[in-house]
Structure 1
């Protein structure tokens, strides 16, 4: 995994674009596949790359790339249900 400079997300940044890059890098999913994700695209349970161990890595990388802190209480079963629910979670955490 590459090292990233921790920077808070500017509210004008496109959260979905940054989230696609994160999923691509952490889960090793090809860019064209990630680009096809829509809000309703199922994630956890539908992507073989996204297992419970990958969730932990994804959350850590989200903290680093988005400059946020994620508490255990922040995560529930719906967070990783779809690409849209994960994007909504990221928006809430960064205050966008």
Structure 2
């Protein structure tokens, strides 16, 4: 998995804020399981989280791209975001 630290930390911050899990923020790493393991992340929270990530990182998710694998771990979600984030202009 090729996740840069800035993307990972930014995705983690969105997860923490969206799910209201500030007290557990320091325990999240790339291998932390998400959907099915985190009670706060129900189907409604998935939609809210995805919308928050789209707004934060300026991309849109096509319905055909959406799968449960994206929300398997914090790292898989960060990698998904990294792959869809427009490259910065230098």
Pair in the same fold by TM > 0.5: yes
- Find out whether 1:20 has 2:12 as its counterpart: yes
TM-score, structure 1 length as denominator?
A: 0.79
Deviation per CA, 1:38-72, whole angstroms, max 9, x where unpaired?
22110001110000000000111111100111111
Aligned to 2:63: 72
Q: Is 2:80 the counterpart of 1:92?
A: no
Q: Where do 5+ consecutive residues of structure 1 fail to align?
A: 1-11
Unaligned stretches of 5+ in structure 2? none
Any conservation in 2 of the 1:40–1:84 contact (CA below 8 Å)? yes
Runs of 4+ in 1 over 3 A off after TM superposition: none
Please tell me the root mean square deviation across aligned C-alpha atoms, in Å: 1.8
TM-score, normalised to structure 2, is 0.84
C-alpha deviation, 1:35, in angstroms: 2.6
The Cα shift of 1:95 comes to: 4.8
